[in-house]
């Protein structure tokens, strides 16, 4: 066997073609992946690449580009780890050509760490102690299994050395078995066998924790539960993990041990007539029972948790995207009400930009039920602010009662305004935040909460970005999953939504501006500060005067910032780098840009092929044409308020068989939760979403969707409502 020596040159690994490795994982062409990698390395953001570099990426969307960035990070870290392992083994003088090839070809972190395990510094084990006693040669002889005559005791007697801590032949044989057990545990092939069998044939076994078997809890279903590792869904695993964390459940992961040990024995037993067969078999079983089974169970437990986290975070991110992209009511004045009982309902009046104009308190609910006083106060606000187009009522405590009073008032007065029940999850978090104090320094938390409710109606995206996504209430197990990964994923969703919609540079808050491509918190505050000091921006070029906003940032951000000013293109998604092209197109049509914008007939007649060259392709030209037709078009759908049933205000009002209107508030892997106006969401199980098979509820439903449901069951005591969309 040839090993590395001190005079050999240090080995070097050439970086692989990351694009070809990543392309199959993300589902886009390797050339497009290579272009994405190059753009990312240049400092480009995901939204910018997705929108303005489509020719290079083949039109890859932001999800694929973000996935490419994630996989690139993993592959580069794996490459760096390969180098570290290679150098470490080389320095130990144990690097063989075969091992080097295996290290360079390792396709995953687990595979690489298996190869490195025998060379990793370790604490003293039974095997290392046996080696210190000089029993390695005996173990090697036992492992080769070449002896067919004599007895193990006779051979082991030659290794008895009381001065070295080996008093008997049995002790020598046991030490040799310990060395073999560890060898098996540290062999990549054996680890792969156990890993694959645990994944393919293993079970997650859950049971009641000690002393909890007779305790009723929400985890009772898992007190005696078993499910294949390969099939357990993420939400079930996370429920088991939460039950374990709260002390109600214990669980373990393992395949059938005899099946695994039989496979391992078949791999290590070489000669039927060898005198060592029984000892090698014993060492194999001991290695699995004492070491490998627990190591693999821990590894797969961690991998299952990582996978479950990924699924849960994916669902959370999808729901958040739907919530952020909910249809806005628009820049119209509104009255907003934060409902309450004893302390009354806080009322605010906001102008079309969300600025607070007036505020007060009314008492339409118990215990006062001051309906006439509420109506009188509303009359005053409507008289003073005749432009009010809607009343937003928070859906918290007392929300439905307040909603009913306001709706009846509007009907009786024949006022042409919408009355909308608004999801207020997280409004209290915002109202107590530093940002809220900065925006509304002269008002208490109750007024700030009502302002947040009103602004959510006007523009959900602009308001919800001010709140930690975890407080918005569209995810499950958000406190149980990897918090760093959750934050990154949710931040990515916010960035994607903000840049997809675009941001008015002259009205947006710093909280919204910080999510614009290339901007960030510090520069967002600088933009607002510059605006306050120098007045509104007249064109995109003036953004370059903001302290800290250089050419690269301008390139990344400009297309997503809207300015209604000198140049009509500044209020569109056309990037400044393409203004000259648009002017050329307009000139070829004997038009100016202002006249061309919005003239669908003229714009539809543009011959795209005429303008394709080395610097611009069909993707960009098609986007430009769409913008010229409808510049700055909001991609969000048209606002439509949900129409809750008038006779249903609390869970006690529900009856089986009722048909109700509701709005989807949360979508999970097992179904969807729907608000039917009783301050307790009902569950539409996945089996009740459609008459056909539904693989994933997210394929059929999204947060904010108005739906019609039928009540299947009501458990008032436990606050559970079962709903069905089928035949509703």
- Of 385, 362, 357, give the one whose Cα is nearest residue 373: 362
> For 162-192, what is each residue's pLDDT tens digit?
999 999 999 999 999 999 999 999 999 999 9
Mean pLDDT lowest for which of 372-381, 480-489, 493-502?
480-489
Q: Could you tell me if 129 and 139 are in contact, meaning their C-beta atoms sit under 8 angstroms apart? A: no
What pLDDT, on a 0 to 100 scale, did the predictor assign at position 2? 46
> For 396-419, what is each residue's pLDDT tens digit?
889 989 999 999 999 999 999 999
> For 618-676, what is each residue's pLDDT tens digit?
999 999 999 999 988 889 999 988 888 888 888 999 999 999 999 999 999 999 999 99
> For 147-157, what is each residue's pLDDT tens digit?
999 999 999 99
Residue 20 has pLDDT above 50, yes or no: yes
225 phi and psi angles, rounded to 5 deg: -140, 145
Residue 220 has pLDDT above 50, yes or no: yes
Residue 287 has pLDDT above 80, yes or no: yes
Helices 169-185 and 277-286 pack at an angle, to 10 degrees, of 60
Task: Work out the average pLDDT over 205-220.
Answer: 93
Other C-beta atoms lying within 10 Å of the C-beta of residue 156:
24
Architecture of the domain spanning 523-629: Orthogonal Bundle (1.10)
CATH fourth-level superfamily of 334-458: YqgF/RNase H-like domain (3.30.420.140)
639 phi and psi angles, rounded to 5 deg: -70, 130
pLDDT band at residue 303 under the 50/70/90 scheme: very high
Percent of all residues in the chain with a pLDDT value above 90, rounded to a whole number: 89
Residue 279 has pLDDT above 80, yes or no: yes
> For 228-253, what is each residue's pLDDT tens digit?
999 999 999 999 999 999 999 999 99
What pLDDT, on a 0 to 100 scale, did the predictor assign at position 642? 84
Task: Work out the average pLDDT over 197-201.
Answer: 94
Q: Could you tell me if 82 and 104 are in contact, meaning their C-beta atoms sit under 8 angstroms apart? A: yes
Q: Where do you find CATH 2.40.50.140 in the chain?
A: 651-724
What pLDDT, on a 0 to 100 scale, did the predictor assign at position 549? 97
Q: What is the pLDDT of the chain when averaged over all its residues?
A: 94
Q: Where do you find CATH 3.30.420.140 in the chain?
A: 334-458
What pLDDT, on a 0 to 100 scale, did the predictor assign at position 672? 95
What pLDDT, on a 0 to 100 scale, did the predictor assign at position 475? 79
What pLDDT, on a 0 to 100 scale, did the predictor assign at position 691? 92
Q: 586: which 2 tokens?
A: 């307009």
287 phi and psi angles, rounded to 5 deg: -60, -40
| DSSP-assigned letter for residue 4 | -
Residue 258 has pLDDT above 90, yes or no: yes
Q: Where do you find CATH 1.10.150.310 in the chain?
A: 523-629
What pLDDT, on a 0 to 100 scale, did the predictor assign at position 408? 94
Task: Work out the average pLDDT over 688-692.
Answer: 94
Burial label for 262, CB within 10 Å (0-12, 13-18, 19+), is exposed
Q: Give how far Cα 665 sits from Cα of 5, 319, 476, Å.
A: 65, 8, 12
Q: Which residues of 441-451 are buried (b: 16+ CB within 10 A; e: fewer)?
A: eebebbbbbbb
Residue 70 contacts by C-beta under 8 Å, 6 or more apart in sequence?
A: none
H-state helical runs in 515-644: 520-534, 551-557, 579-588, 593-596, 600-604, 618-629
Residue 4 has pLDDT above 70, yes or no: no
H-state helical runs in 325-416: 371-384, 399-413
What pLDDT, on a 0 to 100 scale, did the predictor assign at position 3? 52
> For 87-130, what is each residue's pLDDT tens digit?
999 999 999 999 999 999 999 999 999 999 999 988 899 999 99
Task: Work out the average pLDDT over 702-719.
Answer: 93
Whole-model pTM? Answer: 0.87
What pLDDT, on a 0 to 100 scale, did the predictor assign at position 1? 44
Q: Length of the chain in residues, anyone?
A: 728
Residue 431 has pLDDT above 90, yes or no: yes
Residue 7 has pLDDT above 90, yes or no: no
Residue 66 has pLDDT above 60, yes or no: yes
- Of 428, 440, 360, 348, give the one whose Cα is nearest residue 391: 348
Q: What distance in Å separates the CA atoms of residue 410 and residue 168, rounded to the nearest whole number?
A: 97
What CATH number has the domain spanning 651-724? 2.40.50.140
> For 509-568, what is each residue's pLDDT tens digit?
999 999 999 999 999 999 999 999 999 999 999 999 999 999 999 999 999 999 998 899
Mean pLDDT lowest for which of 347-361, 417-431, 446-460?
417-431
Q: Where do you find CATH 1.10.10.650 in the chain?
A: 18-119
Domain 18-119 = CATH 3.40.50.720: no
Task: Work out the average pLDDT over 36-63.
Answer: 96
């Amino acid at each position: 066997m040839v090993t590395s020596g001190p005079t050999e040159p240090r080995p070097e690994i050439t970086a692989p073609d990351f694009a070809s490795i990543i392309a199959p994982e993300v589902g886009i062409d390797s050339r497009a992946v290579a272009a994405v990698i190059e753009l990312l390395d240049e400092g480009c953001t995901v939204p910018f690449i997705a929108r303005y570099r489509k020719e290079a990426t083949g039109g890859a969307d932001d999800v694929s580009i973000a996935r490419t960035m994630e996989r690139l990070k993993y592959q580069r870290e794996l490459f760096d780890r390969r180098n570290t392992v290679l150098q470490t083994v080389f320095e130990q003088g144990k690097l063989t050509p075969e091992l080097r090839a295996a290290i360079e070809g390792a396709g995953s972190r687990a595979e690489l760490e298996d190869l490195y395990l025998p060379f990793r510094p370790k604490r003293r084990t039974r095997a290392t102690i046996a080696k210190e006693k000089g029993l390695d040669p005996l173990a090697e002889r036992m492992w080769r299994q070449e002896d067919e005559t004599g007895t193990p005791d006779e051979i082991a007697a030659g290794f008895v050395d009381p001065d070295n801590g080996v008093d008997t032949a049995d002790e020598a044989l046991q030490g040799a078995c310990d060395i073999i057990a560890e060898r098996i545990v540290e062999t990549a092939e054996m680890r792969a066998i156990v890993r694959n069998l645990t994944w393919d044939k293993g079970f997650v076994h859950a049971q009641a924790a000690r002393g909890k078997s007779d305790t009723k809890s929400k985890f009772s279903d898992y007190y005696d539960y078993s499910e294949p590792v390969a099939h357990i869904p993420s939400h079930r695993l996370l429920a088991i993990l939460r039950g374990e964390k709260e002390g109600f459940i214990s669980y373990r992961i393992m395949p059938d041990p005899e099946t695994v040990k039989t496979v391992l024995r078949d791999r290590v037993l070489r000669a039927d007539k060898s005198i060592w067969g029984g000892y090698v078999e014993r060492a194999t079983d001991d290695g699995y029972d004492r070491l490998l089974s627990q190591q693999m169970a821990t590894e797969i437990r961690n991998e299952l948790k990582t996978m479950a986290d990924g699924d849960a975070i994916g669902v959370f991110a999808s729901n958040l995207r739907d919530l952020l992209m909910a249809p806005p009511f628009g820049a119209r004045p509104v009255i907003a009400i934060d409902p309450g009982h004893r302390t009354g309902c806080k009322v605010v009046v906001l102008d079309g930009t969300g600025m607070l104009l007036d505020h007060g308190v009314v008492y339409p609910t118990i215990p006062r039920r001051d309906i006439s006083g509420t109506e009188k106060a509303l009359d005053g606000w409507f008289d003073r602010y005749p432009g009010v187009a809607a009343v937003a009522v928070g859906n918290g405590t007392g929300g439905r009662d307040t909603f009913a009073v306001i709706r009846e008032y509007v009907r009786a007065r024949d006022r042409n305004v919408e009355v909308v029940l608004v999801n207020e999850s997280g409004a209290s978090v915002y109202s107590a935040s530093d940002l809220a104090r900065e925006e509304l320094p002269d008002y208490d938390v109750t007024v700030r909460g009502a302002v947040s409710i009103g602004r959510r109606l006007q523009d959900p995206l602009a308001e919800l970005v001010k709140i930690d996504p975890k407080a918005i209430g569209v995810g499950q197990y958000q406190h149980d999953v990897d918090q760093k990964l959750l934050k990154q994923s949710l931040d990515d969703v916010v960035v994607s939504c903000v840049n997809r919609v675009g941001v008015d540079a002259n009205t947006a808050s710093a909280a919204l501006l910080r999510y614009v491509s290339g901007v960030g918190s510090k520069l967002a505050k600088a933009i607002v500060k510059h605006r306050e000091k120098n007045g509104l921006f007249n064109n995109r070029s003036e953004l370059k005067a903001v302290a800290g906003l250089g050419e690269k940032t301008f390139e990344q951000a400009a297309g997503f910032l809207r300015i209604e000013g000198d140049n009509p293109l500044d209020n569109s998604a056309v990037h400044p780098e393409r203004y000259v092209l648009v002017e050329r197109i307009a000139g070829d049509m004997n038009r100016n840009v202002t006249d061309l914008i919005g003239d669908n007939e003229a714009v539809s007649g543009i011959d795209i092929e005429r303008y394709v060259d080395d610097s611009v392709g069909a993707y960009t030209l098609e986007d430009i044409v769409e913008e010229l037709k409808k510049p700055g078009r909001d991609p969000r759908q048209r606002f439509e308020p949900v129409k809750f049933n008038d006779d249903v205000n609390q869970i006690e009002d529900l009856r089986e068989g009722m048909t109700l209107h509701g709005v989807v508030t949360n979508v999970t892997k097992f179904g969807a939760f729907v608000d039917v106006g009783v301050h307790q969401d009902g569950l539409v199980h996945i089996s009740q979403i459609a008459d056909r098979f539904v693989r994933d509820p997210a394929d059929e439903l999204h947060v904010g969707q108005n739906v019609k449901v039928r009540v299947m069951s009501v458990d008032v005591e436990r606050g559970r409502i079962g709903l069905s969309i089928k035949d509703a």
